[in-house]
Structure 1
Amino acid sequence: MAWGLTVPLTGVPIREHRSLISELASLGYTDLWSAEVAGSDAFTPLVLASEWDDQLRLGTAVVPVHTRGPAALAMSAAALADLAPGRFVLGIGASSETIVTGWNGISYDPPYARTRDVLRFLKTALAGEKVDGEFDSFTIRRFRLEKAPDIAPPIMLAALRPQMLHLAAREADGAITNWLSVDDVRKVRAELGPDKELAARIFVCATEDAEMARNIGRFLIATYLTVPGYAAFHDWLGRAELMKPMRQAWAAGDKNAAMAAVPVSLIDELIVHGSPDECRAHIDRYLANGLDTPIIAALPTGTDLLSTARSLALS
């Protein structure tokens, strides 16, 4: 059974992860997945992890397809695939206009076309073939990796709704999602189909202080699920009316009212919290509904997150 952890842990310097990563496999973890928002890039923590451990599968969840050129992305992926042959998974996704344009000053091309084109480019380039031609969202002239990886990494797509899930089913090796409940897994799985890997980042507050966990959840839900892509995802999941008061308050600039409008029932669906045993049991229900790979994102609760990650291990 897969059991993944998101790195780096919030607020923990990358160099301080060494002792944890070197023992994760013995604790029952199978996977280590990075993130890329406004902290570390997606590749550096996994490069270090490839030297600190030789068993864990290493994945990016996810690298934005707009913020690096296709060739630069292929080179980074090839280097990590060479460091961890057969253990690296390249997760790519459209990210958001805030990150791509607001933070990086890059035009936010139509996300579906850009993701599809980068996926097709990478599959060809990482196989060691020359890429030369026009895609809908860019043109490549005579690019070939100097050294293609001996084992080309699987490529998974960040996918929240049917169109991207169908692309993942047709052309990728699986899909990566997040901000979903146990029951949502079945709807996502139905669109992806039974044959491709489905991974999901699951936000975990390992504390028995339910009020603390819910306050953390209120902030995160109001912040993330008002972003257009996630809002559309939850509309598709059937939560448009449930989230309407929160969205209206957020749009009016009243963040406190938006957080107050997040229903407790929604927090308890989307944020796993409780004792470590209760958290593991909750994650098990995701697996029972069709999730293949849970990627635990341990949320800070005032305790040492290195210890928290150990407490959430399978053994």
Structure 2
Amino acid sequence: MDRWGITIPYFGQGLDRELVGELPSLGYTDAWSAEVSGNDGFTPLVLAAGWAPELRLGTAIVPVSTRGPGLLAMTAATLADLAPERFVLGIGASSPVIVERWNAGEFSKPYARTRDTLRFLRAALAGEKVTEKYETFEIKGFKLDQAPRVAPKIVLAALRPRMLRLAAAEADGAITNWLSPEDVRKVRAEIDEGTELIARLFVIVSEDADRVRALAKRMLAAYLTVPVYAAFHDWLGRGDVLRPMHEAWAANDRQAAVKAIPDEVVDQLIVHGDAATCRARIAEYVANGLNTPVLAPIPTGETPIAQIVRDLAPERA
């Protein structure tokens, strides 16, 4: 297995310098951040760049509509110089809640805005002076004072064919989320074998299936009712099985929406069981075409998160 990533900071725990520094010796190759309403996507990676110089570092993802294009280029350039040839910039459309409700931005033409931002960043991070009228914004005379010595790779959050094809054609990879090992085949069919496919996999190390399902259903209801994820799972073929959840959510009955999620959907989308079972399940994703699994361990209180990170390490597989 070529790559084995972990999400930092870990759920329920701040950045642990000692544990981040230990990741390479455990067999982890990558550390990827997220950006929703906790830590920002860049600061944890700045710290990890010094704590674990062997790790590849990536954002999965930062939205294209919560920062101006120039600021996004400046921030990416800073990290690219801190971790030359080790930083991967993951960008994506995000969602109306994050962009509009939480950041007072405008969630408009998500595909075009992502494509335009990708094209701008390619030019800006190469050190070019950019004056360009894109479909979704216009740039007049932007040039980085100090372009990175090595421009970072850029990967796109992509859930359905159009964005997946853009990632394959113009970016360096695609990032996906909330899918089963079997779903990987359908996603991979939209992109060529040379395109890196990255996915964050939510992992619950517990043999208490009832406890896992109760926890996971709350997470799934919150995510799969977001329009982009609803459309993704329609495309994957789960439209009918998830319809009762969507109907209850639309009626503002959150409790009923959670209960409407079938156990088999949890078992498809959440990696769970003891550590050995979880590692074997992750290997199924890789066998079906996933290049880079990025584990996101969810604690249940049974085991400290640091121990979970160690137990899931690939060297123990």
* Aligned ranges 1:23-172 → 2 under 5 Å: 23-172=22-171
Amino acid at match of 1:269: Q
Deviations 1:240-271 (A, max 9, x none): 10100011111111111111110101100000
Aligned-residue offset at 1:311? 1.0
Amino acid at match of 1:10: F
Identity %: 60
Residue equivalent to 2:275: 276
Given residue 10 of structure 2, which amino acid in structure 1 is its aligned partner?
L
Q: Secondary structure at the match of 1:295?
A: strand
Aligned AA for 1:11? G
- Count of matched residue pairs: 313
Q: Is 1:10 the counterpart of 2:11 in the alignment?
A: yes
Aligned to 1:308: 308
Q: In the TM superposition, what whole-angstrom CA distance separates every residue of 1:259-296 from its partner, at most 9, and x where no partner exists? A: 11101011000000011110000000000000000000
C-alpha separation in 2, matches of 1:230 and 1:193:
23
Match of 1:261 in 2: 260
DSSP 3-state at the match of 1:114: helix
Amino acid across the alignment from 1:85: P
Distance in 1, matches of 2:314 and 2:182, equals: 23
**Structure 2 residue identity aligned to 1:30:** T
Task: Specify the code of the residue in structure 2 equivalent to 1:308.
Answer: I
Residue 183 of structure 2 corresponds to 184
Cα offsets for 1:20-41 (capped at 9, x unmatched): 1101001010000000000000
Q: TM-score, normalised by structure 2?
A: 0.98
Unpaired runs of 5+ residues, structure 2, are: none
C-alpha distance in structure 2 between counterparts of 1:312 and 1:93, whole Å: 28
Please provide the CA RMSD for this pair.
0.7
Q: CA deviation digits over 1:154-195, x for unaligned, max 9?
A: 000000000100100110001000000010000000002211
Do residues 226 (structure 1) and 251 (structure 2) align?
Answer: no
Match of 2:284 in 1: 285
Runs ≥4 residues deviating over 6 A:
none
Unaligned runs of 5+ in 1: none
SS of 1:191's equivalent in the other structure is coil
In structure 2, what is the equivalent of residue 193 of structure 1? Answer: 192
One-letter code of the match for 2:157? A
CA distance in 2, matches of 1:201, 1:314: 16
Q: How does 1:243-262 map to 2 (within 5 A)?
A: 243-262=242-261
Take 1:155 and 1:283, find their aligned partners in 2: how far apart are those partners? 24
Report the alpha carbon displacement of residue 11 of structure 1 after superposing the two structures with TM.
2.1
Q: CA deviation at 1:310?
A: 1.1
